[in-house]
């Protein structure tokens, strides 16, 4: 039978507040799978017209798939969230772009007709499962010089980017980081971020039960003077610090995707439409430049330029990585299209979950910016990759 691709829409997205990884963090004694279950349950609660049995797939990403992030976490989370046993699920890994890939993979399945409705998201508990836990890199990587030795240390790859682009100074990276903190503080003050945060129960043997209602990582009092004093852990007299990079974090995200015709049938209100996506590889030792070729590929395939893009949500793994992207596309450091409500330097980056945070934030911005038709979500990915997704605003005033 001939098939016609269907339009795919992003209906809703939620996330737990992000916590700091470690023994004193919000989720130090909370399981990773419980975090993503909380997000899935909230998605279903917010969309009561969706019968649970109509969910065709649950794709959940985790970079470290072991312990409470293992057991085919998409299926495990679906069962724990109370979805019918008929709803399948699976785990997915593309390091930092895990949730992004969960969305593009299930979105492609919807477009193809294999699914009508899917839940996609990600979780990372970096306190329980530090980056690289249990990893055994093949010795050929170094013995055969397939990658530079710095490729497996993300902070070192950021220092390499500073080397490649000397115009991106530490001062410029620090200034970008200060703006990110300021934008998050302003967005919180205006109530922009809170609507998609899921209040999440936390347990402490010492303090008892509590409720996480806001992100733990932001440091609104960050200053240039303060950042200048921070250590450079990846290189003596380096440029990458804890202040101009995302921290180590715990958190989960989930979103609801559907065929546009199914959304109409079920009375679901789409926030944005999936147009296209692209992934690209780069040298692993400069993985932060990955969003550049991914975005170039995507724009070219859709006969668009950066001038056509009204909003850009880029993951702030490191300030230098964002600035390299902006320089390539001749975008000013303070361009209002870029992360209007701040980014991961302030909010945190629980690895595999972050892609859906970008999407949820973009979808909220679309609701306010009916003058904007197209937006991007983009991020760099460990081991030398980049991913970019192109979205169309379903509330775009030009379509009326």
Count the Cβ atoms, other than its own, within 10 Å of residue 307: 7
Question: For residues 165 and 146, what is the distance between their CA atoms, to the nearest angstrom?
Answer: 23
Question: So which residues are the catalytic ones?
Answer: 96, 349, 380
Partnered with residue 219 across adjacent β-strands are none
Q: 94 and 351 in contact (C-beta within 8 Å)?
A: no
The strand pairing partners of 85, in sequence order, are none
């Amino acid at each position: 039978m001939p098939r016609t691709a269907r339009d795919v829409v992003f209906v809703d997205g939620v996330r737990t507040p992000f916590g700091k990884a470690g023994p004193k963090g919000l989720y130090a004694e909370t399981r990773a799978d419980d975090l993503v279950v909380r997000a899935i349950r909230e998605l279903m609660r917010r969309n009561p017209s969706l019968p649970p049995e109509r969910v065709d797939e649950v794709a959940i990403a985790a970079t470290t798939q072991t312990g409470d992030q293992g057991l085919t976490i998409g299926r495990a989370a679906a069962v724990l969230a109370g979805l019918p046993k008929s709803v399948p699920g699976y785990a997915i890994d593309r390091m930092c772009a895990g949730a992004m890939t969960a969305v593009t993979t299930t979105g492609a399945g919807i477009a193809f007709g294999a699914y009508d409705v899917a839940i996609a998201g990600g979780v990372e508990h970096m306190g329980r499962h530090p980056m690289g836990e249990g990893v055994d890199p093949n010795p050929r990587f170094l013995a055969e010089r397939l990658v530079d030795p710095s490729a497996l240390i993300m902070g070192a790859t950021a220092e390499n980017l500073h080397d490649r682009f000397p115009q991106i100074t530490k001062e410029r990276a620090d200034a970008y980081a200060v703006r990110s903190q300021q934008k998050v503080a302003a967005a919180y003050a205006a109530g922009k971020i809170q609507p998609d945060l899921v209040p999440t129960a936390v347990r402490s043997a010492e303090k008892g039960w509590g409720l996480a209602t806001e992100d733990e990582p932001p440091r609104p009092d960050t200053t240039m003077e303060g950042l200048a004093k921070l250590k450079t852990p990846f290189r003596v007299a380096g440029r990458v610090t804890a202040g101009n990079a995302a921290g180590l974090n715990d958190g989960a995200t989930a979103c609801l995707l559907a065929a546009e015709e199914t959304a109409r049938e079920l009375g679901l209100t789409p926030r944005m439409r999936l147009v296209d996506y692209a992934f690209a590889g780069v040298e692993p030792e400069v993985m932060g430049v990955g969003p550049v070729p991914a975005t170039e590929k995507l724009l070219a395939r859709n006969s668009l330029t950066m001038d056509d893009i009204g909003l850009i949500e880029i993951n702030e793994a490191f300030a230098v990585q964002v600035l390299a992207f902006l320089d390539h596309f001749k975008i000013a450091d303070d361009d209002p299209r870029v992360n209007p409500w701040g980014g991961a330097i302030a909010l945190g980056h629980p690895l595999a979950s972050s892609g859906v945070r970008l999407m949820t934030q973009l979808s909220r911005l679309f609701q306010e910016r009916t003058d904007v038709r197209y937006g991007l979500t983009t991020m760099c990915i460990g081991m030398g990759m980049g991913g970019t997704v192109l979205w169309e605003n379903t509330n775009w005033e030009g379509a009326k």
